[in-house]
A and B are shown apart, each in its own frame.
Chain A
Amino acid sequence: MTARNTDWLETLVSWTSGLVVLALLGYLVRDAVSERQPATFTVSAGSPLAAGDAMHVPVSVRNTGDRAVQELVVTVTLERSGAEPREATFTLDWLAGRSLRRGVAVFPRAALSGGRVTAEVTGFAEP
């Protein structure tokens, strides 16, 4: 096999592909030997949006660690002075490391007026 038997496209594609595969291999080797940070979460609730008789509270959950989690339970609490707190929960099927996902908590429209909303992660499963 000599160079004259290889056209430029084959040379370009095969060498580029080989280098990409080697680069990915190198990335994974580095990932395998480095320490992966456990999952940690930053949760923020957005402004409520009216939707019929309900109010939708958008919630963003960011995993700032390296490890992925599954079945992530987010609890959103509505606190109003003089009333029992109300809770709404939703579950994210998974959240990868260094990633962001969004969900929505639903409250009755009347219950939300004048209340304060907080959100937190209350549980997850390790993959």
Chain B
Amino acid sequence: MVDNPQQERTVPDSMNSPDNADDERGVTLGARATATAYARGAVGGLIVAMPLLMTMEMWWGGFQIPAHRLIVLILVNFGVLFILQHYSGLHHRKSTAGELRAAAAAYGIGLLVSLLTLFALNIVQVGSDARDVIGKLLLESVPVSIGASVSISQFGASNKVAARRKDVEGFGGAMAMALAGAMFFGFSVAPTEEAIILGLRTTPVHVIVLLLASIVLVHLVVYAVEFRSERVSDRRGRWRLLLEEGVSTYAVAIAVSAFLLWTFGRVGSDVGWIATRDMIVSLGLVTSLGAAAGELLI
């Protein structure tokens, strides 16, 4: 299969076929095409995550964040990668096993790209403490692997099965994409000191304004997505669906905001309720934009 150029040449035809049946069956692309997809993922992940690879709070997180929080982060990130593989992702194949493999591969690409970049930047050296290195890699691999999955278009956005799934995904799918988008956006701010400072500087008035602004922005983006899509003109009223999806999307965004702040130790049992609330709502502005735009990004 690997050395059969005829097999590789047939793939674009199958992708363009009306029923796209080959995609459902999972036709093998060949090692060369798979290598191309992985290379595109690595470069895309690097482009998307480069600012975070050069953010010192991310490096510090490697030894500051307790192991149990990193464990939860690994599991959540794998879930996000699985969602991304379902609707887009590194590979054309859209079976559960194929998506699981692609999610694992995206994670592996994230780890490898992070390791090489941190070595190149002299953040990680030979002889560094293993726990420190592993912590750094696991943190940095989150944005790299998400970026790798999102940035791939050859086997994602152009894939008819993936496109059809996005069109008919329903409420659960929309929330899954909101989760992925919120993680993607929120991870760019949550590790930084700015997340704390923003939370500490906000007054109750700011918090109310930020909360309302986030909800309005979510509804504006969801409105744009819904009216671009054909899926909402069925049994329920468009406005009711818009309201439901908007509020639910904001709820997902706030949950992701709280999760990310907890992961990076910004909130917890030793942080007061008011500071916690202010930080979650402040970061919520970022995660809500990501959650609302998730469907556009993926």
Residue of B with least CB distance to A67: B63
Residues in B95-113 with C-beta less than 8 Å from chain A: 95, 97-98, 101-102, 104-109, 111
Contacts of A127 in B (CB 8 A): 60, 63-64, 265
Is A21 an interface position by the 8 A CB rule?
yes
Are B71 and A29 in contact, CB atoms less than 8 angstroms apart? yes
- In the complex, which of the residues A4, A14, A27, A29 has the most CB atoms of chain B within 10 Å of its own CB atom? A14
Residue of A nearest to B73 (CB): A28
Q: Is the interface of A mostly helix, strand, loop or mixed?
A: helix
A9 partner residues in chain B, CB cutoff 8 A? 2, 31, 34-35, 38
- Count the B residues whose beta carbon is within 8 Å of the partner chain — how many? 46
List A contacts of B138 (CB < 8 A): 24, 28
In the bound complex, residues from chain A placing their C-beta under 8 Å from that of B64 are 68, 127
Binding site for B on A (CB under 8 A): 1, 4-11, 13-18, 20-21, 24-25, 27-29, 31-32, 66, 68, 94, 96-99, 127
Give 18 pairs: A residue, B residue, CB < 8 Å, sorted on A: A7-B30, A8-B31, A10-B31, A13-B34, A13-B108, A14-B101, A14-B102, A16-B108, A17-B106, A17-B107, A21-B111, A27-B130, A28-B134, A28-B138, A32-B71, A96-B63, A96-B129, A99-B132
15 more CB-based (< 8 A) A-B contacts, given A7-B29, A9-B35, A14-B108: A1-B95, A5-B25, A5-B27, A5-B98, A7-B2, A13-B105, A13-B108, A14-B101, A21-B107, A25-B71, A28-B71, A68-B132, A94-B60, A96-B63, A99-B63
